[in-house]
Chain A
Amino acid sequence: MTELRGRVTAADAPIPAAEVLAVAGDALAGHAETDADGRFALTVTPAPGLRLLARCRRHAAGLALAPAAEEDEVALRLEDVAPPWPVRFTVGGGLPGGFPGPVLRLVPLALGALPATDVKWAMRPLGERSDSAYLSEAMTADGLTLLLQAGRWWFAARLVLASDARAAGAVDPPPLHAVAAQLADGTPLDAMRGGWVLPVGGPTAVSLTIGER
């Protein structure tokens, strides 16, 4: 067994709570989570071609990849795979009074020049988790800005307000979804699997239209 240490960053800023996977070919050799300073340590069985892959699934989203090195602290930089860019999502036309922004769900389709086989690791089940989205965030009525790695991302947005604590006689409002999405210049985004395909190659602004399907 060998211990691997490293740090996950985006533009030198630490990325906390990133999932760091030790990957040997198609096998998962081990995993760990970064601390508040972006640092991690994991113990794995040495294997040929062992690589470290960081899944960044919060405000800064994407994958970082580097060969495993026992001696040195491994630097996993998001920008080494593809640079992250600010992407701003807003709801065009506004929302009903008192309603929050929708919940945004994203999945990476392609990240920089990363092979598709590596991108697949983004959605690989880990432990007892088998997620349907790489990143989920609730937008506010004012919108949401994320740092998305350059590439292509799938996203969907919906606003479902069901009751958890229920008032007597309460009726849940109908679910709302993003029924249209376009870039700032009016270019409509391509629809895919109930959502949209968002190319990211620089600062991006996306406007969503929310309504009943």
Chain B
Amino acid sequence: MAPIGRRTQEPEEADASRPAPLPAPQSAPVGSVLALQRQAGNRAVAALLSSAPVRAVARLQTAEDLDRQFHGHLNERPPNWDEAARDLNGFSDADIRERVRDLAPDQLEPVKAASDRVNGGSAHRVRGPILERQWRTAVQRRDWRAAAGHLNGFNDADIDRLLGAMDPDDLMHLDDEVLKTDYPVLSGRAAPVRVVGEPRRLADLDRRYHDAVGRQDWRQAAELLNTYSDSDIERLAGEFTSTEDLQQFGRVALVSLRLRVVAGIGAVLARPPHAERVRMAMLESDWEDARRAGDFPKLAHLTCQFSAADVETHLARLHLPELEGLVQQTKGLGALLLRALVEPAERHRARKHLEMTRFALDNSQWVYAVTLLNGLSPADIVTWVDGLTPAQFTAIQPLVSVMYTDANPLFRRVNYRQNLPALAGAHPAVSSGVTPNAGDPSVPVPGGGTVTTHTDDAAAAGWFGQDYQGPNAQQVGWIQFLAREVEKFDAGGASLGFDTSEVTLAQGQSEARKTGTPSAPHWYVDTLGGALPFYDSPATAAVNGGTVGSAGAADASAGQAAMWDAPGARPELARDAFDTWFYETDVATVTVRARFVQYMVRGPDVVMKGGMTVSWTYSGEASAAAGAADPPRTNTPAPVAAYDHIDAAHHVALVRRFPTFRYLPHD
């Protein structure tokens, strides 16, 4: 049976069961009297007209006439429902109820419908008694579905009145039907249970609600909970210990449009302990979303919202690229906003990095291994490269050389390790025979020991030297670079410029050297070494008039690594400078300079830098003539100091002649 529609309660409409107020007695015209008759009934009209003119009364229908007319309309074939309803409305309320009681069941609906059609604002006088008879009949027959439908047709006061008169057991049956069907007014206003307040009914409802919750039948639970008061809804929602269940309950209630239930659950979820759980669940969800999207700025900020312990567990779940992405966010200004993430993110990244590095090496994933090795800290690179097995080293060495430049820490360490066999015994014990002078004040060396620059030797034989004394001296080597200049001066001492056209050859060294200027020097490694660039390294072949095995003068022992040099004067360079063409300015003096820079190298590191400029000044062409004595040399030192790299111009010269030493740090 379709639900019975509830009538609209219009403002001027009185309750269905309430008698309409009688109009005030007056001298009424016939039309008005008939209207009153229809509205208040014959007896009322008769009472009203007791003093009316006889002629008018004679023209009025008596109750018997109206009753006869009413039944006549009912008995017409087909029945004249509209006239019957109009007739019925002409009776008093009591008479209406009496005649409604006498109507056949199948006449009730047609008369009620006809009354609604024809009786206008007083239709309720007929409708109310019919509806109440239908309701009582349904209750009597325990036809709860029909009863619910009829009950839905009453106004709120009548609903309360009728329900209040019901037997509690009947009320439970009726309530079941109300919950099964769609009577929003009935269920929405918590009728009938709350109105009646029947303890058994409440207990039964509680039982059924909790059963539904236990079954996680959220739809049924929402329906049942919706019959409670707002405060009881919150109370019952507050019984939930599982935030997840309560959230699911709320979602179903929302779908079911049980908005009071939704509101109550929402209020509970907004309070502890659910509020924190909801926040965490949402945070967790957002965190996963950001992770899936690779949105590292968002992921970083969300991670910071976890507790310290949760930060750890979440970081532990991330892959290496994700951790790298997070760490990147903590750099620069990000460190201010993500303070809680700076240390743990880097720690997890480092841990994961090491794990993956080990994994890649153990599984012969060489390119990945090289990439990961390259991501290690410089200190870790040293540890890991030195710890590679020979097979692992052999596998990665060519990849490193291809993938990275010589400025790269991994490149440097790998190539240093590659060079270790050549470096073994690079500085054997040797004595130069040079007698040092007192030297300049010693300068401390990072890692221990001192370096003393000797501008001249004690025998004034032209030697200068750099002298390291301290621990691990046999791991220390000096690499010297040389740039030559030839500067011309006129008679007034003004510079005429530098002769950059000279090319010199050095005994025992194959590389021809060009002269340069202070702003554009040409640098060369200055060593007799054939395989190694150190000053004390021996020649391995007889080149440019040198002999195999000859090496730069040095003093090497367990506690000393000193180098000594006394370069040749090169008068032929001055001679060329003096030999001007007819259109050139005459040259009065020529200064030939040899600029030296020395780097002290220990293992793969540069630790000190020093320098010395040796110069000869020739006055007049005769001073540079063949057979003339060399002018006095002047050795001018540059301060020796701690230094951690080789300057770029020197590194270029080093690599040009000794490419395997490109790993030495440089700018």
Whether a CB of chain B sits under 8 angstroms from the CB of A96 is: yes
The residues of B that contact A133 with a CB separation of less than 8 Å are: 501-502, 576
Listed residue (A97, A120, A159, A165) with the most chain B CB atoms within 10 angstroms of its CB: A165
The residues of A that contact B528 with a CB separation of less than 8 Å are: 165, 167
**Is A129 a contact partner of B572 (Cβ separation < 8 A)?**
no
**Is A120 a contact partner of B501 (Cβ separation < 8 A)?**
no
**Is A125 a contact partner of B496 (Cβ separation < 8 A)?**
yes
Whether a CB of chain A sits under 8 angstroms from the CB of B234 is: no
Whether a CB of chain B sits under 8 angstroms from the CB of A100 is: yes
Among B524, B535, B567, B570, which residue has its beta carbon within 8 angstroms of that of A160? B570
Whether a CB of chain A sits under 8 angstroms from the CB of B559 is: no
A169 to B433, CA, bound (A): 9
**Is B553 a contact partner of A167 (Cβ separation < 8 A)?**
yes
The residues of B that contact A167 with a CB separation of less than 8 Å are: 508, 528, 550-553
**Is A129 a contact partner of B506 (Cβ separation < 8 A)?**
no
**Is A175 a contact partner of B572 (Cβ separation < 8 A)?**
yes
The residues of B that contact A136 with a CB separation of less than 8 Å are: 501-503, 514
Interface residues in A, total, Cβ within 8 A: 42
Interface 1/0 per residue, B537-555 and A, CB below 8 Å: 0000011111000111100
Given contacts A130-B488, A172-B568, contact A107 B581 (CB under 8 A): yes
The residues of A that contact B513 with a CB separation of less than 8 Å are: 164
Given contacts A168-B434, A168-B553, A213-B626, contact A100 B501 (CB under 8 A): no
Whether a CB of chain B sits under 8 angstroms from the CB of A48 is: no
**Is B501 a contact partner of A131 (Cβ separation < 8 A)?**
yes
Among A135, A158, A173, which residue has its beta carbon within 8 angstroms of that of B507? A173
Closest A residue to B627 by beta carbon equals: A213
**Is A164 a contact partner of B501 (Cβ separation < 8 A)?**
no
Listed residue (B524, B543, B581) with the most chain A CB atoms within 10 angstroms of its CB: B581
Interface 1/0 per residue, A144-179 and B, CB below 8 Å: 000000000000001111111111111011010000
Closest A residue to B545 by beta carbon equals: A161
**Is B553 a contact partner of A163 (Cβ separation < 8 A)?**
no
Interface 1/0 per residue, B493-512 and A, CB below 8 Å: 00011111111111111101
**Is B581 a contact partner of A123 (Cβ separation < 8 A)?**
yes
The residues of A that contact B510 with a CB separation of less than 8 Å are: 100
Whether a CB of chain A sits under 8 angstroms from the CB of B313 is: no
**Is B576 a contact partner of A96 (Cβ separation < 8 A)?**
no
Given contacts A99-B545, A167-B551, A194-B579, contact A161 B566 (CB under 8 A): no
**Is A98 a contact partner of B512 (Cβ separation < 8 A)?**
no
**Is B517 a contact partner of A129 (Cβ separation < 8 A)?**
yes
The residues of B that contact A194 with a CB separation of less than 8 Å are: 579
Whether a CB of chain A sits under 8 angstroms from the CB of B569 is: yes
Whether a CB of chain A sits under 8 angstroms from the CB of B564 is: yes
**Is A165 a contact partner of B526 (Cβ separation < 8 A)?**
yes
A182 to B615, CA, bound (A): 38
Whether a CB of chain A sits under 8 angstroms from the CB of B242 is: no
Whether a CB of chain A sits under 8 angstroms from the CB of B307 is: no
Whether a CB of chain A sits under 8 angstroms from the CB of B137 is: no
- Return A131 CB to nearest CB of chain B, in Å: 4
Interface residues of A in 186-213 (CB under 8 A from B): 193-194, 213
Whether a CB of chain B sits under 8 angstroms from the CB of A45 is: no
A132 to B498, CA, bound (A): 9
**Is A168 a contact partner of B564 (Cβ separation < 8 A)?**
yes
Whether a CB of chain A sits under 8 angstroms from the CB of B565 is: yes
Among A103, A128, A162, A168, which residue has its beta carbon within 8 angstroms of that of B512? A103
A127 to B524, CA, bound (A): 24
**Is B568 a contact partner of A163 (Cβ separation < 8 A)?**
yes
**Is A103 a contact partner of B567 (Cβ separation < 8 A)?**
no
- Return A168 CB to nearest CB of chain B, in Å: 4
Interface 1/0 per residue, A63-99 and B, CB below 8 Å: 0000000000000000000000000000000001111
- Return A130 CB to nearest CB of chain B, in Å: 3
**Is B565 a contact partner of A138 (Cβ separation < 8 A)?**
no
**Is B432 a contact partner of A162 (Cβ separation < 8 A)?**
no
Whether a CB of chain A sits under 8 angstroms from the CB of B231 is: no
Whether a CB of chain A sits under 8 angstroms from the CB of B527 is: yes
The residues of A that contact B482 with a CB separation of less than 8 Å are: 164
**Is A135 a contact partner of B501 (Cβ separation < 8 A)?**
yes
Whether a CB of chain A sits under 8 angstroms from the CB of B519 is: yes
Whether a CB of chain A sits under 8 angstroms from the CB of B584 is: yes
A207 to B510, CA, bound (A): 23
**Is A125 a contact partner of B569 (Cβ separation < 8 A)?**
no
Closest A residue to B596 by beta carbon equals: A164
**Is A162 a contact partner of B544 (Cβ separation < 8 A)?**
no
A125 to B505, CA, bound (A): 25
Listed residue (A125, A158, A194) with the most chain B CB atoms within 10 angstroms of its CB: A125
**Is A165 a contact partner of B568 (Cβ separation < 8 A)?**
no
The residues of B that contact A134 with a CB separation of less than 8 Å are: 501
The residues of A that contact B512 with a CB separation of less than 8 Å are: 100, 103, 138
The residues of A that contact B480 with a CB separation of less than 8 Å are: 165
**Is A103 a contact partner of B504 (Cβ separation < 8 A)?**
yes
Whether a CB of chain B sits under 8 angstroms from the CB of A137 is: yes
Among A99, A130, A170, which residue has its beta carbon within 8 angstroms of that of B544? A99
The residues of A that contact B381 with a CB separation of less than 8 Å are: none
**Is A165 a contact partner of B501 (Cβ separation < 8 A)?**
no
- Return A127 CB to nearest CB of chain B, in Å: 8
The residues of B that contact A99 with a CB separation of less than 8 Å are: 544-545
Given contacts A158-B572, A165-B527, A168-B564, contact A105 B509 (CB under 8 A): no
A162 to B502, CA, bound (A): 14
Among A120, A138, A166, which residue has its beta carbon within 8 angstroms of that of B567? A166
A5 to B117, CA, bound (A): 105
A98 to B566, CA, bound (A): 23
A166 to B545, CA, bound (A): 13
The residues of B that contact A107 with a CB separation of less than 8 Å are: 581
**Is A166 a contact partner of B576 (Cβ separation < 8 A)?**
no
Among A120, A130, A165, A193, which residue has its beta carbon within 8 angstroms of that of B496? A130
- Return A213 CB to nearest CB of chain B, in Å: 7
Known pairs A103-B505, A107-B581; list 20 more (Cβ under 8 Å).
Answer: A97-B542, A98-B542, A98-B543, A100-B510, A105-B503, A105-B576, A128-B519, A129-B500, A129-B517, A131-B500, A161-B507, A161-B544, A162-B568, A166-B553, A166-B567, A168-B434, A168-B553, A168-B564, A172-B507, A172-B568
Q: Which 3 A-B pairs have the closest CB atoms?
A: A162-B568, A130-B497, A131-B501
**29 A–B contacts from the bound complex (CB under 8 Å):** A107-B581, A120-B583, A123-B581, A125-B497, A128-B497, A128-B498, A130-B499, A132-B499, A132-B501, A132-B576, A133-B502, A135-B501, A136-B501, A138-B503, A161-B506, A161-B507, A162-B506, A162-B567, A163-B508, A164-B513, A165-B480, A165-B506, A165-B526, A166-B567, A168-B432, A168-B434, A168-B553, A173-B545, A175-B626
